[in-house]
Amino acid sequence: MAGKPKLHYFDARGRMEAIRWLLAAAGAEFEEKLIESSEDLDKLRYDGSLVFQQVPMVEIDGMKLVQTRAILNYIATKYDLYGKDMKERALIDMYTEGVADLGEMIMLLPLCPPDQKNTKLTLIQERATNRYLPAFENVLKSHRQDYLVGNKLSKADIHLVELLYYVEELDPSLLANFPLLKGLKTRVSNLPAVKKFLQPGSQRKLPGGEKSLERARKIFKF
């Protein structure tokens, strides 16, 4: 019997959080090996465990997978969260990449120099309001189904709902004019596995503060 997937990352959301969300939503239990110092990271590198010397890395089904997208795509396929055919996969990919683009901007905001932060925040708000949220709202409006693709839960829904939580954390007013997105968020959040993940004490990570950023700087030397 295969062991549980083991996630190698530091104690923060970063690029691993989407993987935690997806595994959790799929009902897959997982373990985490936290990187707490640059020595921990060096050890993984010297062991040859990191193909490109980077994390996230996930030990799963006998493989040491790196590269967030490769990991997510593997998990999604394994748990039937990647559509039923090529065309559905293309739509799921397209929506996922849009989510990733906005998500990346939000994730990198804390690293912004203080004098640029306000400009960056305004850009995020503008992009969310005028580009990304309307695109997804319109997809849901176009077919009036419960999920983005193929009338079935897919990784696209899970990634989008995770993003909606971050958008809400940043500025709750941003979701105001998107009723179908709010509906999707509620629906996905109420799925038993997701509901469990959203409760305190789960493996979901909290927003990193200054201390988390400092720790990341020490581990990854930037």
Partner 1 sequence: MATKPKLHYPNGRGRMESVRWVLAAAGVEFDEEFLETKEQLQKLQDGNHLLFQQVPMVEINGMKLVQTRSILHYIADKHHLFGKDLKERTLIDMYVEGTLDLLELLIMHPFLKPDDQQKEVANMAQKAIIRYFPVFEKVLRGHGQRFLVGNQLSLADIIQLQTILALEEKIPNILSAFPHLQEYTVKISNIPTIKKFLEPGSKKKPPPDDIYVRTVYNIFMP
Sites of contact with partner 1 (CB under 8 A): 51-53, 63, 65-70, 73-74, 77-78, 86-87, 89-91, 93-94, 96-98, 101, 131-132, 135
Q: Which is nearer to partner 1, 51 or 206 (CB)?
A: 51
Considering the complex, what minimum distance in angstroms separates the CB of residue 206 from partner 1?
28
CB 155 within 8 A of CB 193: no
- Angstrom distances, CA of residue 72 to CA of 81, 121, 138, 158, 192: 10, 28, 25, 11, 21
Measured between alpha carbons, how far is 137 from 64 in angstroms, rounded to an integer?
Answer: 36
Between 142 and 199, name the residue whose CB sits nearer to partner 1: 142
Of the pair 87, 143, the CB lying nearest partner 1 is at 87
Shortest spacing between CB 89 and partner 1, in angstroms: 7
Q: Which is nearer to partner 1, 91 or 198 (by Cβ)? A: 91
Which residue matches tokens 């927003």? 207
Residue 31's identity, in one-letter code, is E
Q: How far is the CB of 149 from partner 1 (least distance, A)?
A: 12
For residue 179 the two structure tokens come to 């009723």
Q: Give the chain's length.
A: 222
Token pair listed for 31: 């373990």
Instruction: Kindly state the smallest distance separating residue 198's Cβ from partner 1, in Å.
Output: 28
